[in-house]
Copies of this chain bind each other. A is one copy, B any other.
Amino acid sequence: MASRVTMIAHLFGAMATILMLVWLLHYRGGIDLDSDSNSDRIFNVHPFLMFFGFIFIAGEAIMGYRTVAAERKVQKLFHMVMHLIAITLGIIGIYAVFKYHDEIGLSDMYSLHSWIGLGTFCLFGLQWLFGFFSFWLPKSSLATRETMKPWHIFGGRALLYMAICSALTGLMEKATIMGLKRGNESRLINFTGLFILLFGLAVDLSLSLAY
């Protein structure tokens, strides 16, 4: 059951990635962090890396802790390193939107999306550090680790949903700024958001089935 749910989560994540790429490449002019001619292409790095780089890879890291076919130590390593990759790509994604704001003279950090997004990202970094020192470095006693484990799992799930909230408020903000009403691009963005939500729900379900 858990492995079937994991498979469904992969599919939802892949669907969200494909729809987002169609949106950014076909409707929004492409993705390029160093674009000189089109600042929209700098912005486009942000949604792509925040979903595919950060949320999708972190979700795979969460599921991989149980589902990677390897010994315990390798599963833990996968879990830790994938989260580190997600954080790195997330930092580039956040840099992209600040660079875009800077280029076109927009102010930063005034929207609900920016507050929840950056808040989630910082707490995610703390959760990683907390996990690294508690579960990877072999200093904590087994009893301490057993006490901290449910908090690590709850924190991870809470951060997953917070990241989903950040993504959906971000898509909502962008679609509203662009003044989209009924139409193909609007529907494409909505389906991207729906698949991001379904990815989060499937990752949570696979987590719930594992513990």
Contact = CB atoms under 8 A, between A and B. Distances in A.
The secondary-structure label for the interface of chain A is helix
Interface stretch (A81-89, A107-115, A135-143): A107-115
A54 B175 CA distance: 26
Contact of A172 (B119, B169, B205): B169
Given A112-B193, A193-B112, A165 B168 contact: yes
A112 B175 contact: yes
Interface string A146-179: 0000100010011001101100110111011100
Nearest to A186: B110
Nearest to A171: B112
Given A169-B168, A197-B162, A181 B110 contact: yes
A155 to B, nearest CB: 10
Most buried by B among A110, A164, A173: A110
Contacts of A38: none
A8 interface: no
B194 A116 contact: yes
Nearest to A207: B154
Interface string A104-134: 0001001111011001000000000000000
A9 interface: no
A189 interface: yes
Contacts of A73: none
Contacts of A169: 168-169, 172
Nearest to A194: B115
27 contacts: A110-B181, A110-B183, A111-B172, A111-B175, A111-B176, A111-B186, A112-B168, A112-B190, A112-B193, A113-B172, A150-B208, A154-B205, A154-B208, A158-B205, A161-B161, A161-B165, A161-B200, A161-B204, A162-B201, A165-B165, A165-B168, A165-B197, A169-B169, A169-B172, A172-B172, A176-B176, A176-B177
